[in-house]
Amino acid sequence: MNAPLLVARHCGAIGPGWRAQRLAEARAVLADVAHHQDGLIRLAARVIVSHGETARERKDAGVLLVVLDARSPLRHRHHHRSDQDPEASS
């Protein structure tokens, strides 16, 4: 089975409730952030930021992304710092 055929089959399988199910999963992750890894929390927050039903829900998820970035600043700044300052990598 080749990849394009596999994708075509799965695209037809996505029903009208698919988006609602993904939003429900993302909301469940955000409701219990203490028991999930940061990567999953980031993914769930991005889903809510992009597809949340209310402006408040989208804004709150965006704030959570900012908090997550503040919790691990080195991971996000390391890439930018090494690109800008050649002495930082030595």
CB atoms within 10 A of CB 26: 23
Q: State the average pLDDT over residues 2-15.
A: 51
pLDDT-derived band of residue 7, with 50, 70 and 90 as boundaries? very low
Give how far Cα 22 sits from Cα of 44, 45, 73, 75, 83, Å.
Answer: 9, 12, 28, 28, 36
Q: State the average pLDDT over residues 49-57.
A: 95
Q: How far apart are CA 7 and CA 55, in angstroms?
A: 33
Say whether pLDDT at 89 is over 50.
Answer: no
Q: Is the pTM of this model over 0.75?
A: no
